[in-house]
Chain A
Amino acid sequence: MSRALAALLLLLPGAAVAQQDSMPSLTGKPGDPARGRAIVANRTVGLCLLCHGAPIPEERFQGNLAPSLAGAGSRATPDQLRLRVADAARLNPDTIMPPYYRVDGLTRVARSFQGKTILTAEQIEDVVAYLASLKD
C-alpha cells in the first residue's frame, strides 16, 4: 500500500463516521414541528409512544422500551435525528427502533404495507422538526 493511500485511509474514518451518523433533509424543506408532534403522539401513525416517553402530557400511556425523547434536540442535530428515525439500524444493527424510511431488507411485510415506508419523507421532516425543538 502506498504511503499516500495509507494517509488517505487514516483521514477517512472521521469523514465516514460523520457521514454515517447523519442524513440530509429528505425534502429540502423545513418540517412543521406542530405536525411532527401530532405524528409522534399518534399511536397508529408514528407509534413512537408505544416505546418512548415524550413530553406530551395528554398522552397517558407511554412506553418505556426506549430512551425518553425529552431533550432529543439538545443531544443531536436535526441531521443526526433524521438518520435515527429513518434507519436507526445503520448505527446499531440490533436496534428494535423500526426503520421509518426504509423498504429494503424487510421480511414478510403485511400486504397493505408492502413497498411503503412507515412515514413519508414529509412526515419524517415534521417529526425531525419536532424532535429538534425538544431542548432540555
Chain B
Amino acid sequence: MTGLRLAAVLLAVFAASFALAQGDPRRSGYREMGPALQKMQDDDAANPAMLFVQAGAAAWAEKAAAGKSCADCHGDATASMKGVAARYPAFSAEAGKPIDLEGRINLCRTTHQQAEALAPESDGLLALSAYVALQSRGQPIAPPDDARLSNLRAEGAELYKRRQGQLNLSCANCHDDHAGRKLAGATIPQGHPTGYPIYRLEWQALGSLKRRLRNCVIGMRAEPWSYDAADYLALESFLMQRAKGMAMDAPGVRP
C-alpha cells in the first residue's frame, strides 16, 4: 500500500469512528423495534427466518441439472459469501446491467447451473438470499464505488422524493420527515435495508426488500411496479447508498 493510500484509509477509518462518536443519526429498523422482537431476531433458535436459512444452506450444496451446485463454484459460503449481500445491487458485466442479489442468484442459476430462474418471492429464492445475506451479518453496507451505478442511484433518489399515488405522499415524507413518529400503531422506521430478507409477522412469511417496498407503494395507493421493474432496483440502490456503513443484520424480524 502506498503512503498516500494508507493515509486515505486511515482518514476514512478516522472519519467513520468520528461519525460514530458524533452519534450517527441513522437508526436501523431493528433499533426501532421493541425488546421482544429484537430478542426474536437475535436468537437464531427463535428467529423464524432461520428455517429458511437452513433450507438455503441445503440448496447451496444441491447439484443442479448441469451437475453443479453453488458450493462447487463458491466453496464454503461462510467464507466466500462474507460481505457479498452488503454490496448489492452491483453492476454485472455478464448481464450488462446492474442487478440485485436475487438477480445475481438467478444469473448463476441460468448461466452456470443451466437451471430455471427462481420466481420472485418464491421459497427457493428467499431461502438462498437469506443464506447468502446471513454471511454479511455485522458487515458494513458497502455499495460499490462504480460510476455505472450512478444513474440508477440518482433515479432512485428522485423516485424516493417524488409524491405518488392517491394519497400524494413520497417515501421521504414518511422516512425522512416523520421517521420515529407513529403511523397508527407502527413506528415509522428510517427505511434502511439492513435486514433483508425479513421475516415479517404480519406476512407470516419471509419477504424481500422489494416486497416491503411494494407494501409501502400500495399503502400510498400508487400503482405497484412488477417485481422485475427497474424502479425497485433504483430504489434499492439508493437505499443501500443511503445506508452505507450501517451494519447488516439480515435476516431480520419485523412486526
Q: Which of B97-105, B140-148, B180-188 contacts A (4 or more CB under 8 A)?
A: B180-188
Residues of A within 8 A of B (CB): 43, 47, 49-51, 60-65, 89, 96, 98-99, 106-111, 113, 116, 118
Q: Are B166 and A113 in contact (CB-based, < 8 A)?
A: yes
- Known A-B contacts: A63-B181, A107-B165. Give 18 more (CB < 8 A): A47-B167, A60-B185, A63-B184, A64-B181, A65-B178, A65-B183, A89-B168, A96-B169, A106-B164, A107-B222, A108-B164, A108-B222, A108-B223, A110-B166, A110-B221, A113-B165, A113-B221, A116-B166
Q: Are A109 and B165 in contact (CB-based, < 8 A)?
A: yes
A109 to B177, CA, bound (A): 22
Q: Are A109 and B169 in contact (CB-based, < 8 A)?
A: no
Which residue from chain A places its CB closest to the CB of B225 in the assembled complex? A108
- 8 Å CB contact of A106 from B165, B178, B184, B218: B165
Q: Are B184 and A107 in contact (CB-based, < 8 A)?
A: no
What chain A residues lie within 8 Å of B211 (beta carbons)? none
Q: Cβ of B74 < 8 Å from any Cβ of A? A: no
**What are 24 inter-chain pairs, A to B, with CB distance below 8 A?**
A50-B184, A61-B182, A61-B184, A62-B184, A63-B182, A64-B181, A65-B182, A96-B177, A96-B178, A98-B167, A98-B168, A99-B168, A106-B164, A107-B162, A108-B222, A108-B223, A109-B164, A109-B165, A109-B222, A110-B165, A110-B224, A113-B165, A116-B166, A118-B166
